[in-house]
Amino acid sequence: MKTTEKGIVYKTSRISYISNYVLVILVVILFYLTYSTFNLTFTLIATNVNELISVFVVFGFLILITFLLEQPTIEQILRQYMITKTDIIKVEGLIRKKKTFIPFSNIGGVTYKKGIIGRIFNFGDIELTGFEEGIVIKGVANPEEAYRILKHRIGLVVRPPALQKTQR
């Protein structure tokens, strides 16, 4: 969470990709088992079919491991969510930006979900349903705080501060 003059900015938490890190460990073990079982020899210049297969296996595993490790960074670069005083904004894209606005007055419901691992490491998804479309804030750290802020801001829009004072 980062606060700017426009509002509060949320990005996907790196810890929400803990399953990727577990998969990396499994892929490394699988790579070791594959490499040792099939007696693959790795050289950059393949002279026979066995060495060529070895090159493809090694580069395939390296690409998979790199993707799994860098997916959180890519997600943080490509997607962010902003909570302003009047609406929630989802910004997607790197070169071509796509912005989705939902005014708080159009939000029908707010829920947050935490799985087992999310409860352990304190991350989850927040789902905002609007009348026409919804926004899911994926893998945000401390979703209860974001949920509380959203519910408060929605309450201010539904019942403006002037009405809240007279109703007390």
Element (H, E) at 165: helix 161-167
Whole-angstrom distance, CA of residue 168 vs CA of residue 163: 9
Of 40, 58, 75, the domain-final residue: 75
Of 29, 49, 75, the domain-final residue: 75
Residues 89, 52: one domain?
no
pLDDT value at residue 93: 92
Instruction: Answer yes or no: is pLDDT of 6 > 80.
Output: no
Residues 121, 156: one domain?
yes
pLDDT value at residue 161: 56
Sheet architecture: strand order including 134-141: 107-113, 123-130, 134-141
Q: Percentage of the chain with pLDDT > 70? A: 90
Residues 100, 162: one domain?
yes
Whole-angstrom distance, CA of residue 152 vs CA of residue 145: 11
- As for how many domains the chain has, the answer is 2
Instruction: Answer yes or no: is pLDDT of 166 > 70.
Output: no
Identify the DSSP state of 105. Answer: G
Residues 27, 51: one domain?
yes
pLDDT value at residue 71: 93
**Chain segment 120-130, per-residue pLDDT in tens:** 999 999 998 87
pLDDT value at residue 122: 93
Q: What is the mean pLDDT of the chain?
A: 85
Residues 41, 118: one domain?
no
Residues 9, 92: one domain?
yes
Helix/strand/coil for 13: coil
E strand residue ranges, the chain: 2-3, 8-10, 79-83, 87-92, 98-103, 107-113, 123-130, 134-141
Instruction: Answer yes or no: is pLDDT of 39 > 80.
Output: no
Of 75, 105, 120, the domain-final residue: 75
Closest CA to 136 of 7, 16, 53: 16
Domain that holds residue 30: 16-75
The pLDDT-based confidence of 85 (bands split at 50, 70, 90) is confident
The pLDDT-based confidence of 92 (bands split at 50, 70, 90) is very high
Residues 49, 128: one domain?
no
Distance of CA 163 to the CA centre of its chain: 37
- Work out the angle between the directed axes of helices 18-37 and 49-78 (0-180°, nearest 10): 180
Residues 35, 85: one domain?
no
* End-to-end CA separation in angstroms for the chain: 32
